[in-house]
């Protein structure tokens, strides 16, 4: 579940709590420092990313940028010449000219050039849009792969931190179009600059008009400043409101989540979630709206000033035609140049602002990719785990607290598991049983103390190698939208799967019986996410499948963390017996609520508030008349009284 961050629920009484606002929004000196420092390195990061996706993208885009920069200027020059030639022809007209003369004239030749240029531009435009879309898809794939590959290695602990989720959410969201958008914007800067410089040169040839170019550029500067400041504000706002967006996503996904739709209906929760969504959105939207409106008001004012200036300049150029200092074609060229300079400068500014903003968002991706992994072997040459043998596991003064929390969930645990032992972990909910399993399997590292496998610290082993000795079924085991066969084979996907092995594992888990009755047997697709004929299993059927997966894994240490709660007591006992029979001399660890399974264990460990309070066999602990005795007797009594499985101690 995502962090809620709200007080007690209650429809209509929900108050929005705002976090303290960051102070540095739009801070100009810091922004300049940032621009010089971070900006270029981020831009470089994107170029590297695209280069990795395919160097051709950069080549094609450079060519297009060059063409697009020169193309409008060439177009303007051709148009100018056509107009001037026409004006000359018009003035020189004697009345004797025939069509053949026109076909041989410069005007006709220029018209041909004009259209060749148009056609070429359109073709290049198409190539550009095709290349952008194709490369866009490729870059998205590249970034998604990077994110998945990175996630694959990350510590489980990272997932417990809201800050990490924020990064992941941001990186995932930005993975889409940002990089290619930034790239094409960068190339558009190149082409716009080429055009801009060319038009400035053209305007410089106009008699006495060169300074107008400077003024046009000058009045665009305030616009630049506004753009940059607001992009930064926008970015800070998005980051500042990241929790809101996560909350909104959480509410939407909760209301639309198939797994909890039953509860949402029965408890009539949908409106509560919708109300909460609305409340968060209201605040999120209010700030955003204000930003958008103020930025654009500034731009309207600046545009008005710029339009007025241009109007004056146009009149000046027209006056020169009026006084015969320049020709009509020149009027079209110079006014065109002025307009183009204005639009180019504004494109340049807006695009730079887009790039700048984009690179800030890319920061999310960069910082996600830099998330450090701590669950790694601490030796340069990690130890190899012996496979197919019996292992010894020792906890030595192990304490643990979850990252970002203040409380020790496990305190000074000392425990030895000898080869072939069966251990049952007993304790109330929240006692720390699952956490102990997570440490044992090195999903987390202890905060204090050490855990030894065959005499060596877990941290000395290669992590993947270490994981491969454990066959584990968690309380919240995975349900995969794959076929039954694959769901079992995931227990060890690296070995070559043979149908008989899969069937054997299923038989051992008492799953073969129901699987054989499924429409497509072992090839039945599960879950109705992708396939029309996808099948939903019952809770108990899923659990049997998970058990089959653990059997299939054929690992040295089998761990069952209450995976049997959806099974009836008979089925559960059967699975435990099966485990006991099949485990040979393997180490087995059970976490169970039903203490009947503990009676056969070679070691029972009772946890309370993160500490081991009792340890021994069923016999020994019953004689101690302690916590275990109390739990066991309560359960036995309930069974006898007929309450059966209603019992769930520790709730
Ligand atoms: P058990 O398996 O005995 O029911 P757990 O090991 O799951 O207990 O949990 C022990 C304690 O650790 C609980 O108080 C629980 O709230 C806390 N806890 C479990 N997982 C996390 C986590 N990811 N982050 C912070 N606290 C956690």
pLDDT at site 30:
66
- Mapping DSSP onto H, E and C, the string for 221-251 reads HHHHHHHHHHHHHHHHHHHHCHHHHHHHHHH
Q: How far is the CA of 266 from the centre of ligand 1 (A)?
A: 28
Q: CA 177, 181, 184, 187 torsion: positive or negative?
A: negative
Q: How far is the CA of 401 from the centre of ligand 1 (A)?
A: 9
Question: Regarding the domain with residue range 3-91+98-369, which homologous superfamily does it belong to in the CATH classification?
Answer: ABC transporter type 1, transmembrane domain (1.20.1560.10)
pLDDT band of residue 377 (cuts 50, 70, 90) is: confident
Start-end of CATH 3.40.50.300 domains in the chain: 393-624
Predicted confidence (pLDDT) per residue in 178-191, tens digit: 888 888 899 999 99
Exposed, middle or buried: residue 561 (CB in 10 Å: 0-12, 13-18, 19+)?
buried
Distance CA 421, CA 587 (A): 5
Atom of ligand 1 nearest to the CA of 405: 25
Residue 17 structure tokens:
């709590």
pLDDT of 14 > 80? The answer is no
CB distance 397 to 449 below 8 Å:
yes
pLDDT band of residue 641 (cuts 50, 70, 90) is: low
Distance CA 332, CA 236 (A): 44
- Helices first, then strands: H and E counts in the chain: 23, 10
For 393-624, which CATH class? alpha beta
CB distance 554 to 388 below 8 Å:
no
Q: Mean pLDDT over all residues of the chain?
A: 84
Predicted confidence (pLDDT) per residue in 43-81, tens digit: 888 889 899 999 999 999 999 999 999 999 999 999 999
Predicted confidence (pLDDT) per residue in 506-521, tens digit: 998 888 989 998 888 9
pLDDT of 645 > 50? The answer is no
Q: Which of 167-176, 582-591, 604-613, 630-639 has the highest mean pLDDT?
A: 604-613
- The average pLDDT across 337-357 equals 85
Q: How far is the CA of 416 from the centre of ligand 1 (A)?
A: 22
> Which residues, in sequence order, are bridge partners of residue 560?
473, 590
Nearest-CA residue for atom 11 of ligand 1: 430
pLDDT at site 2:
37
Atom of ligand 1 nearest to the CA of 607: 3
Nearest-CA residue for atom 25 of ligand 1: 402
Q: How far is the CA of 591 from the centre of ligand 1 (A)?
A: 14
Of 565 and 494, the one with more pLDDT: 494
pLDDT of 447 > 80? The answer is yes
Q: How far is the CA of 430 from the centre of ligand 1 (A)?
A: 6
Q: Which residues line ligand 1 (CB under 6 A)?
A: 160, 402, 405, 409, 427, 429-435
Nearest-CA residue for atom 5 of ligand 1: 432
Nearest-CA residue for atom 26 of ligand 1: 402
pLDDT at site 27:
58
pLDDT band of residue 28 (cuts 50, 70, 90) is: low
Q: Ligand 1: which of 156, 431, 435, 473 to mutate, judged by most atoms within 8 Å of the beta carbon? A: 435
pLDDT of 217 > 60? The answer is yes
Residue 279 structure tokens:
């409340």
Nearest-CA residue for atom 6 of ligand 1: 432
pLDDT at site 32:
65
Nearest-CA residue for atom 16 of ligand 1: 430
At 290, which helix (H) or strand (E)? helix 270-322
Atom of ligand 1 nearest to the CA of 425: 3
Give the chain's length.
651
């Amino acid at each position: 579940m995502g962090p809620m961050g709200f007080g007690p629920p209650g429809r209509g009484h929900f108050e929005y709590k705002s976090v303290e606002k960051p102070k540095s929004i739009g801070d100009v000196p810091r922004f300049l420092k940032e621009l010089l420092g971070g900006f270029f390195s981020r831009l470089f990061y994107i170029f590297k990313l695209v280069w990795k996706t395919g160097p051709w993208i950069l080549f094609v885009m450079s060519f297009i940028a060059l063409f697009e920069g020169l193309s409008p200027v060439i177009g303007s020059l051709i148009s100018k010449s056509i107009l001037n030639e026409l004006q000359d022809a018009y003035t020189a007209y004697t009345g004797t000219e025939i069509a053949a003369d026109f076909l041989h004239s410069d005007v006709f030749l220029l018209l041909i050039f004009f259209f060749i240029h148009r056609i070429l531009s359109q073709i290049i435009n198409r190539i550009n849009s095709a290349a952008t879309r194709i490369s866009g898809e490729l870059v998205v794939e590249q970034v998604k792969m990077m994110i998945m590959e990175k996630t694959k290695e990350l510590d489980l602990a990272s997932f417990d931190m809201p800050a990490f989720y924020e990064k992941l959410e941001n990186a995932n969201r930005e993975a889409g179009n940002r990089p290619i958008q930034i790239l094409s914007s960068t190339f558009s800067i190149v082409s716009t600059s080429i055009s801009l410089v060319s038009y400035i040169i053209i305007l410089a040839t106009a008699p006495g008009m060169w300074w107008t170019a400077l003024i046009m550029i000058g009045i665009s500067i305030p616009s630049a400043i506004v753009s940059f400041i607001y992009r930064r504000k926008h970015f800070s706002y998005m980051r500042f409101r990241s929790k809101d967006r996560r909350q909104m996503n959480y509410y939407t996904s909760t209301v639309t989540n198939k797994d909890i739709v039953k509860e949402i209906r029965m408890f009539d929760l949908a409106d509560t979630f919708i109300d909460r969504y609305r409340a968060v959105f209201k605040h999120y939207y209010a700030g955003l709206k204000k930003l958008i409106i103020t930025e654009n008001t500034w731009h309207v004012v600046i545009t008005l000033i710029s339009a007025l200036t241009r109007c004056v300049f146009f009149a000046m150029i027209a006056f020169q035609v009026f006084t015969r200092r320049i020709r009509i074609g020149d009027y079209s060229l110079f006014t065109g140049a002025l307009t183009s300079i204005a639009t180019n400068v504004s494109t340049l500014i807006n695009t730079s602002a887009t790039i700048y903003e984009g690179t800030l968002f890319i920061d999310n991706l960069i910082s996600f990719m830099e998330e450090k992994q701590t669950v790694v072997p601490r030796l340069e040459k990690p130890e190899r785990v012996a496979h197919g043998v019996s292992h010894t596991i020792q906890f030595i003064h192990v304490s643990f607290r979850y990252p970002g929390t203040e409380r020790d969930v496990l305190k000074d645990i000392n425990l030895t598991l000898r080869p072939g032992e069966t251990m049952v972990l007993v304790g109330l909910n929240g006692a720390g049983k699952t956490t102990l399993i997570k440490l044992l399997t090195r999903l987390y590292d202890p905060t204090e103390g050490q855990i030894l496998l065959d005499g060596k610290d877990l941290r000395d082993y290669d992590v993947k190698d270490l994981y491969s000795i454990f066959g584990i079924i968690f309380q919240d085991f995975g349900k995969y939208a794959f076929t039954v066969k694959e769901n079992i084979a995931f227990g060890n996907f690296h070995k070559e799967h043979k149908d008989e092995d899969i069937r054997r594992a299923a038989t051992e888990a008492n799953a073969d019986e129901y699987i054989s009755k499924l429409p497509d047997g072992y090839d039945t697709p599960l879950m109705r996410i992708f396939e029309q004929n996808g099948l939903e299993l019952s809770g108990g059927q899923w659990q049997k499948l998970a058990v089959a997966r653990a059997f299939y894994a054929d690992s040295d240490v089998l761990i069952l963390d209450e995976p049997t709660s959806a099974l009836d007591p008979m089925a559960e006992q059967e699975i435990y017996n099966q485990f006991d029979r099949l485990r040979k001399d393997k180490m087995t660890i059970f976490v169970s609520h039903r203490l009947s399974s503990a009676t056969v264990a070679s070691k029972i460990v009772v946890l309370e508030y993160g500490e081991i309070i009792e340890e021994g066999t069923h016999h020994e602990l019953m004689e101690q008349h302690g916590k275990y005795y109390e739990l066991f007797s309560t359960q036995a009594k309930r069974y006898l009284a007929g309450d059966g499985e209603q019992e769930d101690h520790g709730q």
